Amino acid sequence: MTFDVITIGTATRDAFIKSKDFHVDRDLHVLGGKGLVMPLGAKLEIPDIYFSTGGGATNSAVTFARQGFKTACIAVVGDDVSGNTVIRELERERVKSGFIRKEKKPTAYSILLEPPSGERTVLVYRGASEDLEGKLVPWARVRTRWFYISSLAGNIRLLRRVVDFARKKNIKIAYNPGGKELKQREKLLPLLKHVSILIANREEASLITGVSYKNEKAIFKKWDIMSPGINVMTDARNGVWVSDGVRRYKAGIYKEKKIVDRTGAGDAFGSGFAASIMRKPKDVIRAIKLGSANATAKVEGMGAKYGLLTRREFESEKRWQRLAIKTVKI
């Protein structure tokens, strides 16, 4: 089978825990000067706990499948209950799971602790997701028009293997790099010139280009040379900047009905943007709208896959048709 897109990256099991007994206080010993405080030795009541699946590869795969694309996922999970849950949920979303490997190490896990203020601390166990290597991928069976690559836990060797395979097979790449890859800038940069869509936030774009995060025009001037495809810079509540090498686009954000959970919002935007480019390669404005709409719908509920839009939902719901977007010719 030839797929429209195969996602590559992490697969996790997530647990969301809220409690009025979690407090935020000043703490000069931690980054940011604030810390999550719980009484030592106490037994705390948890009014509710919510489980879901996550990880960049599975989150983005669900977006592509809901947008009507033939989708598969390359990831590693443990041979355990959590791994089976990840696979079962993907199959329910019509994502092919035949490339997902089960290994001895347990499935990756995230525990999200949220106090009443809405801020959160995330405990992360990387688990089996760290074991994704090129040797685990059955390359002879891999047939696709696109790869969508999310964080690879710093595995530049795997990224290079994917890029080399894509170049030989004329496969396009959309890439949302993780922090550990960005820390290996000198190894990463030569690979970016082979990427069709590169997605990063403002701080990450600054790391890629070596330009101050405060100067978006200078960032894109250098970025368009380093990575000649479509470059996307997300900017939290300030919206998004996009350059396709011919025009530069600046968009705001949609108004949320309510904000419940931001987990997976970045994956929702990136995969939504890429899905639209896959369908209409020249229509950057539509891609911005779909990416932004997908992220907005996601934050209105709990879990990384909540609210991810189907093609029909995006094209038929009036709230997604209007978004302030400015266009400037480069």
Instruction: Read off the pLDDT of residues 110-164 as tens digits, 9 standing for 90 and up.
Output: 999 988 877 789 999 999 999 999 999 999 999 999 999 999 999 999 999 999 9
Same domain, 129 and 2: yes
Domain co-membership, 189 together with 247: no
Number of domains in the chain: 3
Both 122 and 5 in one domain: the answer is yes
What pTM does this model have?
Answer: 0.95
**Same structural domain for residues 246 and 223?**
no
- Name the stretches of the chain with pLDDT < 70: 28
pLDDT at 26: 82
Last residue of a domain, one of 99, 134, 169: 134
| Residue among 51, 54, 33, 49 nearest 114 (CA) | 49
Tell me what pLDDT residue 316 has.
97
Q: Which of 171, 204, 228 is the last residue of a domain?
A: 228
Q: In this predicted structure, what is the pLDDT of residue 38?
A: 84
253 and 221 in a single domain? The answer is: no
Strand 121-125 and strand 108-114: pairing? Answer: antiparallel
126 & 80 share domain: yes
**Of 197, 198, 199, 225, residue with least CA distance to 211:** 225
Per-residue confidence (pLDDT) for residue 37, from 0 to 100? 84
- The domain boundary, picked from 228, 252, 279, lies at 228
pLDDT of residue 56: 97
User: Does residue 37 lie within any of the structural domains?
Assistant: no
Q: Are residues 7 and 100 in the same domain?
A: yes
Look at residue 28 in the predicted model and tell me its pLDDT: 67
Task: Please report whether residue 248 resides in a domain.
Answer: yes
Residue 142 located in a structural domain: no
**Residue 143 counted as domain residue:** no
For residues 101 and 179, state if they share a domain. no
d(CA 40, CA 102): 37
> Within this chain, do residues 222 and 287 fall inside the same structural domain, yes or no?
no
Specify if 36 maps to a domain: no
pLDDT at 22: 86
Q: CA-to-CA distance for 205 and 201, rounded, in angstroms?
A: 6
39 within domain boundaries: no
Q: How far are the Cα atoms of 7, 162, 269, 310, 314 from residue 63, in angstroms, in the given order?
A: 11, 21, 9, 8, 12
Say yes or no: 91 and 3 in one domain: yes
Is 74 part of any domain? yes
One domain, residues 156 and 271: no
Closest C-alpha among 209, 69, 91 to residue 147: 69
**Same domain for 126 and 94:** yes
Which residues form the domain of 10?
Answer: 1-25+47-134
